[in-house]
Structure 1
Amino acid sequence: MRLPSLFLSHGSPMLAVQDSPAGRFLDGLGTSLPWPKAIVVASAHFTTAQPMVGAAVAPDTVHDFGGFPPELYELRYPAPGAPDLAASIAQRLSDAGLPARVREGHGLDHGVWVPLRRMYPQADIPVVPLSVMPHGDAAQHVALGRALAPLRDEGVLVIGSGGFVHNLGELDWRHADAPLTPWADEFAQWMRAKLEARDIDALIDWQSQAPHARRAHPTVEHLMPLFVALGAGGEDAGVRTLHRSHEFGSLALDAFAFE
């Protein structure tokens, strides 16, 4: 059975432990999908100059954040790796004109393990982390995703893990349930409309066309996983909105399936 590709907004690392709309959504997501034999996650927190694939046999749980409660640093997600799949992915990307490297020993950053801990808490599905390229553009990440699209017919779940709107500098830390600010809402609505219309050209040119693009993403690494998931859905894939919520005024936590 063909799996969809997914884009998930992972928000704060507290998503791993806190009750929230996004957390409850993720709690039910894994069981709503066909069971994958492996998972590939393109994470906003794995950034490189060229595509890189993690190939650890038993990847560490990486706590790549600071200032959170001690309980968060004690969490582990002991999923196995898949070195052979990682090597195969690197070859697929290279064959598609995206020279890729394998990094042995690379762990699972919180963009990988936080959503997976809620989706698949048993941690028994092999996981392969994949980098995004903050100095690359949306078109490169769509192409990267398209090179991964055949994996969906092989029982591999492809996930892009980032943030639909992600401006940490304008968070309203006092009010987790603060309304999404007007500029963030305008950006999110534009992106949703273009995704639903399958307007790939406009999406690729999001930095020029989307309202408040630079404010919504002062740095681009949290949006690039969306383009990986979009590409992995295939050229004719439809989009299905899986979840929509927001936090702290400037984090939109939309999730989508491409199938």
Structure 2
Amino acid sequence: MDIPARLPALFLSHGSPMLAVQDSPAGRFLDGLGRELPWPRAIVVASAHFMTDRPMLGGHLQPHTVHDFGGFPEPLYRIHYPAPGAPDLAEEIAQRLADAGLPARVRENHGLDHGVWVPLLRMYPQADIPVVPLSVMPHGDATAHYALGQALAPLRDDGVLVIGSGGFVHNLGDLDWAHPDAPMTPWAQEFAQWMHAALAVHDIDAMLDWQQRAPHAHHAHPTVEHLMPLFVALGAGGESPTVRTLHRSHEFGSLALDAFAFD
């Protein structure tokens, strides 16, 4: 019996849904990322666009592709990502979370939102790896999501790729929509630099208290759901993981598309 290779936990910024089709630094990065990793037997994605009041997992055998956005070019709505689901794995994860004191449920009819299928379409375009979506809790804090990730960490030794899909800096109301290539604004740059520095020295206490300690925290994330997948991935990296910055880029002045591996 082959022993699956140990996989890192990943945080990926999924940006605009146009990431699925546009040529961009972030898109080209994702195109190569899947080939650089050991092949997973399944993928669990904690998505900023799957929001619930407690942990929930998608358990559909053949999840549908959800186009949960508006105002984009029509061909984007014709894209489908027909990856199979993994109901048994979803139930296993729900039990792991319950054992860790995190009561979870499985939603049998849940599909794949664009926080799931956009990065996976670039990484694994063949769509033949089973996928389990995992919710984030917009009323939960970083500590709760870090604990959620810690409960998922053992999956990495069983060939399961754990991904947090969100946004490193994400304030849609302050984007320079007219200038996709605009320089990064100072406030976004200061927030991102603080986060990078805290991750580099594995300052978990500072990271978990990011809303009080990071400069421009509320400006960078007026709502928290796009940063919470980072804490899921960080927790899934295990105790004192190696933190690798995989990618840094931005769009529209402040939409930071940074990506990290924790292993």
Give the TM-score normalised by structure 1: 1.00
Identity %: 81
Q: Report Cα offsets for 1:179-235 as digits up to 9, x if no partner.
A: 110000000000000000000000000000000000000000000000000000001
What residue identity is the alignment partner of 1:67? G
1:96 to partner: Cα distance:
0.3
How far apart, CA to CA, are the structure 2 residues paired with 1:157 and 1:173?
A: 33
How many residues of Structure 1 are paired with residues of Structure 2 in the alignment?
259
How far apart, CA to CA, are the structure 2 residues paired with 1:87 and 1:12?
A: 31
Q: Match for residue 256 of structure 1? A: 260
Note the residue ranges of structure 1 that are not aligned, 5 or more in a row. Answer: none
Q: Match for residue 217 of structure 2? A: 213
Aligned to 2:115, which of 111, 121, 133? 111
1:59 to partner: Cα distance:
0.2
Q: Report Cα offsets for 1:118-167 as digits up to 9, x if no partner.
A: 00000000000000001000000000000000000000000000000000
Q: Match for residue 47 of structure 2? A: 43
What residue identity is the alignment partner of 1:205? D
What residue identity is the alignment partner of 1:219? T
Q: Does 1:81 align with 2:54?
A: no
Please give the residue correspondences for 1:1-259 in structure 2 after superposition, counting only pairs within 5 Å: 1-259=5-263
What residue identity is the alignment partner of 2:17? P
* RMSD of Structure 2 on Structure 1 (CA): 0.4
Residue aligned with 2:215, SS = coil
How far apart, CA to CA, are the structure 2 residues paired with 1:119 and 1:83?
A: 22
What residue identity is the alignment partner of 2:171? N
Q: Report Cα offsets for 1:15-66 as digits up to 9, x if no partner.
A: 0000000000000000000000000000000000000000000000000000
Note the residue ranges of structure 2 that are not aligned, 5 or more in a row. Answer: none
